[in-house]
Every structure is written in structure tokens, then in C-alpha cells.
Structure 1
């Protein structure tokens, strides 16, 4: 099976200000997205990389690939307005290939470990759909529209989602084909699409890591620098 890492950076959000999206902020001397790309570049089980990026920033990606001497990137594709548009861009890019697995990863999770990547690939190789997640140490409240608690789910059955999420091509393509025929389809993450539109397809959990953080706010950059020093 051909393993394709899909780096999702289609958003143009600038939650920390500045002229560039957060995936281009510098962490440890490199743009955040470069850390993510390099993690899959050096993994021997990854055959190629596909990057989904807002069309305004394709040149920035090309510069990173040259500077970092990245070899595995075969596609740089423009993303769309919704999260699902980015996934669809990758799905459409590989529609003429067979026996492919797509491994979707947030560009702003720069500390993805080789162990997690390898474990995800092993599960997909065994025919499974996969999500990465970690246990929650906090109690989670479910609330209603009035901001009232309606239930307290069992903590041992809850997980905090991370990425990658990985699927065989046929599974993720089939799920989106059905979703796109639903006039009420609401964009969500890829596991959500598979769970809703292919309910017979089980999605298995690969254990994540506390360091596999998503850089969203300024304090996440500070935490990121601490993780880099520890590594």
C-alpha cells in the first residue's frame, strides 16, 4: 500500500496576528509547518506527501521545500473554505491511483512522533481506519443551549482527539461521496464524516502523546519552545 501523508494547512487564520497564517510562525528557527512536513519526510513508511495550502501561500511552501531539501512532496494543492474542502482536494488528487492510504495531519501539530506515525501506518496496513487520541484527565460536561449541564460522560470512555487520522482511499472516498449527496452535510473532521456516512466502518484509536499539541494561540508557541528544548 502507498502511504500518503496529507498535511492540512488550507486555512488562512491569523489568530496570533501578523500577515501570515499561524502555520508559518517560527518555532525553533523554522516555520511550524516545516516541522510537520519534516516529520513525515524522514519516516521510511511514508511514500509521499501532499500539502493543502491556501492559494495565497503556495510560494511560501515552495520556498520551505527548497530550503529544507524536502523530496517527498508530490502535490501542493489549494484548500477551500471549509475543512472538508482540504480533505476533498487530496482525495481528488489520488482518484486515479489504487491501493493508497491517506494519512491526514494538521500542519500546526509540529511534534508528531515517528512512533505515532508508524503505529498509524501499521493499523491502516491491517485494514483499519484510524484516529489518534489521548485520555482526558478532566471531567467533561455536556451542556444544552441554555448553558446547563445535562450529562457527565464517563471519563474513561472519553479521548482528546489529535491527528493523524488515516483511512484507505476507498473508505474515505466512499464516505465523502455519500456526504456530498446530503444537502444537510456540515463540514467536520474526517473521522466525523466516516462515522456518520459509513457507520459500519469501525475507527480504531492509536495512542497519541501529550507533546503532539496543536499550535493555535500564543501560549502554545511558548509550550512548543519548551517541548523543543526537552527533545
Structure 2
């Protein structure tokens, strides 16, 4: 099902403490709002609309830089105003379905999204919910218990909540002025729309109070998995005046021979990243039989692999490349190689390693017939 998504991120989050609104604070080294934005986009949300306050325009542009298909719009003073602004942003090209999500719930997964979209086959709306397990108490203004309500049939609603787009827009158009809905499903319920429940998840906790952030840091480890991939590539020498290695042209009395620019370092690293996310190897994505890749810069292959990581809601953690050759000498160019890789990958320099070794004049590299490269990449993705 084709769907768009709206992330509501215009609040100030005073109850969460701190000087920065909670949606822009860091959890496990990443802004809270970016967690769900990456996951929704990886699941296929197009477009993804993020509704912010006008005061947060600069920080939002920095947080979401590089996410294609994401649109930032300005919201209102109340949540209902921000949701309406997000829905209005979709009117030009209305989607079949739309997911409305609170930025303060960072740990949404592709499984949650799939469940919600599946539920829309039989209903106009759907939301993840958990059964109420704790005993409930109702008190008066003096906080003295006056009632213990039953728990049967009671559920804790979470987000994202999914809707058929036209049904939700029509429901909001009929919502009484001056009233504030507790969630978007309540708007659809008011006009008789059917709302289905999908399995909720304690991981979909909403960050509300200062004490929620240490728990989110702990949960971030459980919500993510670290993957390791390795790559190996080799090319023979032939006539030429330079070689490409790790994105750097090095003067030499020979060149490496290959269908593209024969950058063994970038080829090995591309394979390592693809291997870490289970996406085959470089030949699957850029077949050497395809003439369009003849002489192509291997930067293209590497950037493609990095984009696939992002589509899975993941991020690259670090890379390590080892070049095996007698000549050319790598050490004079190693710093430039690291800087080039760091720029291509969007990584700090200390997460990029380039090393070189020889085979003590043994084998094809020892005889100067060619050059080899080995790479390891570490990637973090949703569990």
C-alpha cells in the first residue's frame, strides 16, 4: 500500500527538562526525531512530512540533511494544528494512506508499520495498543481515591497511527472548533470511522519526563543490532601512469585494469558494506557486463551501498581497509585516503582506517602482477 507519513515535532517538551526540545535531544548519539524519520523512510513513506515550530527550522534542517523525500513544514501552537498542517502538505498528491507519528517515540520498527498498513485493509484507521495491566485508580482534586475502574477492554494507545488519508482529512474537517482530541484516532472515531488495534510494543514508549531518557539510552541498544561485513578485491596491473586507490589518484608507472576505474580499495569496502546488510556484492548491483559502468568512478558504487544502509534505517559505524601491494607505496597517500573516505561516508576521521602491507614478495602481489584490498565495515541497523 502506498503511504505517506507525518511526524509531529512542533512541541517544546517542557516536562522532559533540558534546554533543548526533547525531539532534538540525543539518544544513543542520534536526535530523537531522526530515529523514527529514518525508519519510516526505510519502510517506504513518501513523502515524509515533519511538522516543526518555526523556531526549530535551523536545527531541523541540520538533523534531517540528506534525507531525500522529506519535507519540513511549520506547525501550530496545538498538536491538532500541527497534524492539520501535515495533512495539508499532502493535499497536492494525496496518498492512499497516511501514518501520524509522535517524534517523541523513537523506536518504531518496520514490523509496526507493516502491521498498521495491513490493518487498513479492513478498517479506516489503525493504531498499536497495549492492554492495561496495572490497576487503575480515579482520584478527586485532593488525590484521595474515589474509584477503582475495571480494566476489561481498556488499552494504551501508541503511535504511529495509520489512516486512509481521505477518511482522516474528512474527519478533521468535521471536528468541532475549540475541542482538542487526545489522539488522531479519536477524530476518526467521532464520525463513526472504524479503528482497528494492532499489537503494541513497550519499545514504543513516549519520551515525556527526564527519567525517560536514561531508559531510552538503555533500550537503544536492544532496539539496534550491529552487523559486520567484509570485502575482498584484486586487480592486475597494466599499462598506465596512475592507479586509483580509496578514491585517490596515485602517480605510478602502471595502472590497475578493470571494467570501472579498478579502485580495489573502494570495491572491497563497497562489498563489505553490502555484506553487512545482506545485499549481495558489487557485481549484483553494478554488473561488469553493463557498458554504462565502463570506466565509472567507484565513488558511485560506495555511495550506493551507503544509501542502502540508510534505507534500512541503519548507519555506518566504522570502516577498516587494508591494501596489499609492493608498489606503489601507500604510506605517503594514506592520510589523503582516510580523508577522502571520511568525506564519502560521512564519518569522523577516527572511524576510518587505511593500512597497507606486503606479501614479502610472495604471490601475485609480491611479484608485482597486481594489487589486492581487504575491507571490514561495521553497520548498525534496527533489530
TM tier relative to shorter chain: 0.7 to 0.9
Instruction: Check conservation: 2:49, 2:89, Cα contact below 8 A.
Output: no
What is aligned with 2:208? 216
Deviation, structure 1 residue 150: 5.4
Residue 177 of structure 1: how far off its partner (Å): 0.9
The answer for the alignment partner of 1:25 in structure 2 is 25
CA contact (8 A) 2:3 2:97 kept: yes
Q: Which residue of 1 aligns with 2:67?
A: 70
Runs (4 or more) in structure 1 with deviation over 4 Å come to 143-151
Between the aligned partners of 2:60 and 2:206, the Cα distance in structure 1 is 19
Bigger mean CA offset, 3-12 vs 92-101: 92-101
Query: Greater shift after overlay, 156-165 or 16-25?
Result: 16-25
- Structure 1 distance, partners of 2:10, 2:94, is 25
Listed as ranges, the matches of 1:1-231 within 5 Å are 1-44=1-44, 46-66=45-65, 69-73=66-70, 75-143=71-139, 147=143, 149=145, 151-179=147-175, 182-196=176-190, 198=191, 200-231=192-223
- Deviations along 1:129-174, one digit per CA (max 9) or x if unpaired, are 1111111210113445665655544323111111011111111111
Change (3 A) 1:11 1:129: same
User: Given the superposition, is the C-alpha separation of residues 99 and 106 from structure 1 closer, same or farther in structure 2, using an over 3 Å criterion?
Assistant: closer
Determine if contact 1:15/1:22 at 8 Å carries over to the other structure.
Answer: no
User: Which ranges of structure 1 fall in alignment gaps of 5 or more residues?
Assistant: none
Distance in 2 between the 1:99 and 1:126 partners?
18
User: By how many angstroms is 1:226 displaced?
Assistant: 1.1
Separation in structure 2 between the aligned mates of residue 223 and residue 113 of structure 1, nearest angstrom:
18
Partner Cα separation in structure 2 for residue 81 and residue 187 of structure 1: 14
Q: Secondary structure at the match of 1:155?
A: coil
Cα deviation digits, residues 26-48 of structure 1 (max 9, x gap): 1101111111111112114x232
Q: CA deviation at 1:94?
A: 1.9
* Structure with greater Cα Rg: 2
On the 8 A contact 1:84/1:188 being kept in 2, the answer is no
Comparing 75-84 and 9-18, the one that deviates more: 9-18
C-alpha distance in 1 between matches for 2:222 and 2:61: 30
TM norm structure 1: 0.87
SS in 1 for 2:220: helix
Q: Deviations over 1:35-92 (max 9, x none)?
A: 1111112114x232110011111221111122xx32231x211111111001100121
The count of residues paired between Structure 1 and Structure 2 equals 223
TM (norm. structure 2) is 0.54
